[in-house]
């Protein structure tokens, strides 16, 4: 049953300022969008008729692997660093991270000529470490088994006079992440459902705050790895719950043990529910994104697509937004993960019958070739520079192919802590 929402222009300034939590409101997110506009990419939105057919809905995919630093984290990092006072910029910043947040802070600091120190576990993915090194940030190692990374970073901040940039428990970081949803809704119109990866909760807090302001009836669903379900457990008990130990999942960006102190109260008000996916389902989603959308997605970034492909989202006739949150996975690990499982073979959706050409509502995408089919799958379309918008015509779901007994594990054996 459809909600009756249709694409429209973004809400008025009055509507944008009417929803939010103390310290984070929609106005802060619209201000963040203006502040970071010259520093981050306005990432594209893509559609795919096979996804539409599987969901019996219109599905709009926001592609943050094409963001600077390879993930949505650049948004929050730039928004926070751009507001530092002159003396704070001179002294520098410190961040703790298993990868994406550290890479984003390092990039923003380099752009703004701010010294940066990034506290990382030795087991962090090498690609993410290379990104941090490439822009000249100082790396400080810690041992996840014996040291608390936040305490290590806080000690460095105190000793050197640095400003600590948290990965999610900071309202300005959350506001920066929320600009992702502002762009999405500006480009495609109102949404009925929004699927968002959740670790510490900063992305969902920002995205949910602005989405609820622009689309008051939107339903927000957080997606967690089954082995890192701290938010799901916390929502059940209506209090923050910490997992017993570091989660064992290939989704290294979502290995949080406990929701954020600032993010959890916000997300507990915004979320309809949490859906979990296992590692095998995550790898199958990575397969789908690579083969059908032609986008390389890291495990953490693929969880929302995984939930849809696994049949855990039932919203026929609706308009669904999905966040691909990042694509920082090196080629060897990506190949090894995909080689460990054989996903169900999904048929290509039929095209050319109407409902497969999607309106281009993207503005200023940083990716060339917008408005053309992005893959050899004729059902996939990037929103950019098109002209017409037919109504969605969901089709029946194809029969599921048989699945392999294999499931995906991280072949490197690495299990770094997460903050994303």
- Residues 386, 305, 254, CA angle at the centre, nearest 5°? 125
* Burial (CB count within 10 angstroms: exposed 0-12, middle 13-18, buried 19+), residue 353: exposed
With cut-offs at 50, 70 and 90, classify the pLDDT of residue 411.
Answer: very low
Does the fold of domain 73-164 match that of domain 13-71+171-383? yes
SS3 207: helix
Q: How long, in residues, is the chain?
A: 420
Q: Closest by alpha carbon to 60, among 359, 404, 348, 352? A: 359
Compute, in degrees rounded to 10, the torsion defined by CA atoms 15, 16, 19, 21: -160
Statement: residue 402 has pLDDT above 90? no
Cα 323 to the center of its chain, rounded Å: 5
Bridge-based pairing state of the strands 116-121 and 380-383: unpaired
The per-residue pLDDT for 356 is: 39
Stretch among 172-181, 269-278, 349-358, 392-401 having the lowest mean pLDDT: 392-401
Q: Which residue would you say has higher pLDDT here, 387 or 230?
A: 230
Name the residue ranges covered by the structural domains of the chain.
13-71+171-383, 73-164
Q: How confident is the model at residue 96 (pLDDT cuts 50, 70, 90)?
A: very high
**CA pair distance 73, 107, nearest whole angstrom:** 10
309 has pLDDT over 60:
yes
Q: Which residues, listed in sequence order, are joined to residue 275 by a DSSP beta bridge?
A: 223
Q: Which residue(s) pair with 96 in the sheet?
A: 119
**Assigned architecture for domain 73-164:** 3-Layer(aba) Sandwich (3.40)
State how far the Cα of 106 lies from the Cα of 92, in Å rounded to an integer.
Answer: 11
| Average pLDDT value for residue range 171-199 | 98
- What class does CATH assign to 13-71+171-383? alpha beta
Higher-scoring residue by pLDDT: 31, 13: 31
CA angle centred on 366, ends 362 and 368, rounded to 5°: 90
Q: 71: closest CA among 102, 94, 92?
A: 102
Q: Which residue has the tokens 């080689």?
A: 339
pLDDT in tens, 342-397: 776 776 665 443 333 333 445 644 433 333 333 334 445 555 433 233 333 333 33
């Amino acid at each position: 049953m459809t909600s009756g929402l249709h694409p429209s222009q973004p809400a008025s300034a009055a509507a944008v300022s009417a929803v939010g939590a103390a310290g984070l409101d929609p106005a802060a997110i619209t201000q963040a969008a203006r502040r970071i506009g010259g520093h981050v990419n306005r990432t594209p939105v893509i559609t795919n008729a096979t996804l539409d057919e599987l969901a019996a809905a219109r599905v709009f995919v926001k592609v943050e692997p094409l963001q600077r630093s390879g993930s949505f984290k650049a948004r929050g990092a730039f928004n926070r660093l751009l507001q530092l006072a002159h003396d704070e910029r001179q002294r520098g910043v410190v961040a703790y991270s298993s990868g994406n947040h550290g890479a984003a802070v390092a990039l923003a600091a380099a752009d703004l000529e701010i010294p940066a120190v990034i506290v990382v576990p030795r087991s962090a993915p090498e690609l993410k470490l290379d990104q941090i090194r490439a822009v000249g940030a100082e790396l400080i190692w810690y041992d996840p088994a014996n040291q608390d990374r936040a305490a290590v970073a806080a000690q460095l901040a105190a000793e050197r006079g640095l400003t600590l940039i948290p990965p999610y428990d900071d309202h300005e970081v959350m506001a920066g992440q929320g600009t992702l949803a502002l762009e999405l809704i500006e480009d495609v119109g109102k949404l009925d459902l929004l699927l968002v990866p959740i670790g510490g909760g900063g992305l969902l807090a920002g995205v949910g705050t602005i989405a609820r302001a622009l689309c008051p009836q939107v339903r927000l669903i957080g997606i967690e790895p089954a082995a890192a379900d701290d938010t799901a457990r916390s929502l059940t008990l209506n209090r923050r719950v910490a997992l017993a130990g570091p989660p064992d999942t290939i989704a290294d960006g979502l290995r949080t043990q406990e929701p954020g102190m600032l993010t959890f109260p916000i997300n507990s008000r915004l979320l309809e529910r949490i859906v979990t996916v296992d590692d095998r389902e995550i790898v199958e989603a990575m397969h789908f994104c690579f083969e059908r959308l032609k986008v390389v997605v890291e495990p953490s970034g693929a969880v929302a697509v995984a939930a849809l492909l696994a049949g855990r989202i039932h919203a026929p006739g609706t308009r669904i937004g999905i966040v691909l949150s990042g694509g920082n996975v090196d080629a060897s690990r990506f190949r090894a993960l995909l080689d460990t499982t054989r996903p169900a073979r999904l048929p290509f959706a039929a095209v050319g019958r109407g409902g497969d050409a999607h309106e281009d509502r993207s503005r200023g995408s940083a990716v060339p070739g917008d408005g053309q089919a992005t893959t050899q799958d004729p059902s996939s379309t990037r929103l950019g520079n098109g002209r017409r918008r037919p109504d969605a015509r969901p089709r029946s779901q194809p029969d599921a192919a048989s699945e392999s007994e294999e499931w995906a594990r991280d072949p490197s054996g690495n299990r770094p802590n997460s903050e994303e």
